């Protein structure tokens, strides 16, 4: 039986997924990374050269099979039966995810999937519109931020650790562009829900952020 949902929204690189993973582990609940769903659409769009046209993408999407599976506390993503869990983390797939996430048909297609998983599982979901759109009645809502410099530094370290040859200024410019697109799109733009608790993670470790969130969960509703 589902007990509660925790919604964590915020811009790229604020530490949402690291914190959400920690929270899920500490609380013994499920973690749904909703960005992975948009990245999977982005990967398909990139591979097949999709145009950002709602009617066209709507048709192409209905012939595309996107699945999230959970085992051993890990979320794996499948695109038309292929395991793309690692592929969606590479290169500019996130950028494709961001661009195609602005299309109404993409948001509509992924909304039901997210709500279904949340309705069936005590879980933490991270994304851009969880507290405002996907789960407006989530028991706990957080908006996690950090300066663009800090977020770029974190993303840079992450990509370098994966062996990608990246440039810090380029990473920062990409993050700023993605923020702008995610915050200004017409449907479900990234914004803090009125009843979300805002946490600035610039000078906090992921562990500290997770503990701060857990204190809200232990004390009752944050939203």
Helix axes of 104-120 and 54-62: crossing angle, nearest 10 degrees: 40
DSSP line for 144-193? EE--HHHHHHHHHHHHHHTT----HHHHHHHHHHHHHHHHH-SSS-----
Asked whether position 140 contacts ligand DC by CB under 6 A, the answer is no
* C-alpha span between 211 and 113 (Å, rounded): 29
# binding residues, ligand DC (CB under 6 A): 15
Asked whether position 174 contacts ligand DC by CB under 6 A, the answer is no
* C-alpha span between 158 and 153 (Å, rounded): 9
Minimum distance, C-beta of residue 218 to ligand DC, in the bound complex (Å): 26
Asked whether position 10 contacts ligand DC by CB under 6 A, the answer is no
Q: Residues 86-125: x/- map of binding to ligand DC (CB under 6 A)?
A: --------x--xx--x------------------------
- Site residues for ligand DC, window 32-61 (CB under 6 A)? 34-35, 38-39
Asked whether position 129 contacts ligand DC by CB under 6 A, the answer is yes
* Site stretch for ligand DC (CB under 6 A), options 57-65, 127-135, 141-149, 202-210: 127-135
* C-alpha span between 58 and 72 (Å, rounded): 33
Other beta carbons within 10 Å of 212? 15
Q: Which residues bind ligand DC (CB under 6 A)?
A: 12, 34-35, 38-39, 94, 97-98, 101, 127-130, 178, 182
């Amino acid at each position: 039986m589902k007990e509660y949902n925790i919604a964590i929204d915020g811009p790229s690189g604020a530490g949402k997924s690291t914190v959400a993973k920690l929270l899920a582990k500490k609380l013994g609940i499920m973690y749904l990374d909703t960005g992975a769903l948009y990245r999977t659409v982005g990967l398909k769009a990139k591979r097949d050269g999709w145009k950002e046209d709602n009617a066209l993408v709507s048709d192409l999407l209905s012939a595309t099979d996107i699945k999230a599976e959970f085992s051993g506390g890990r979320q794996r993503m499948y695109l038309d039966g292929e395991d793309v869990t690692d592929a969606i983390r590479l290169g500019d797939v996130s950028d494709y995810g961001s661009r195609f996430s602005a299309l109404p048909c993409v948001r509509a297609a992924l909304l039901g999937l997210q709500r279904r998983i949340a309705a069936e599982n005590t879980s933490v979901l991270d994304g851009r519109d969880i507290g405002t759109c996907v789960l407006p009645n989530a028991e706990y809502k957080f908006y996690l931020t950090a300066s663009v410099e800090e977020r770029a530094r974190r993303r840079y370290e992450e990509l370098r650790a994966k062996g990608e040859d990246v440039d810090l200024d380029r990473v920062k410019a990409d993050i700023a562009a993605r923020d702008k697109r995610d915050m200004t799109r017409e449907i479900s733009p990234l914004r803090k829900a009125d009843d979300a608790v805002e946490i600035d993670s610039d000078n906090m470790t992921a562990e500290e952020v997770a503990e701060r969130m857990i204190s809200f969960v232990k004390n009752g509703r944050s939203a």
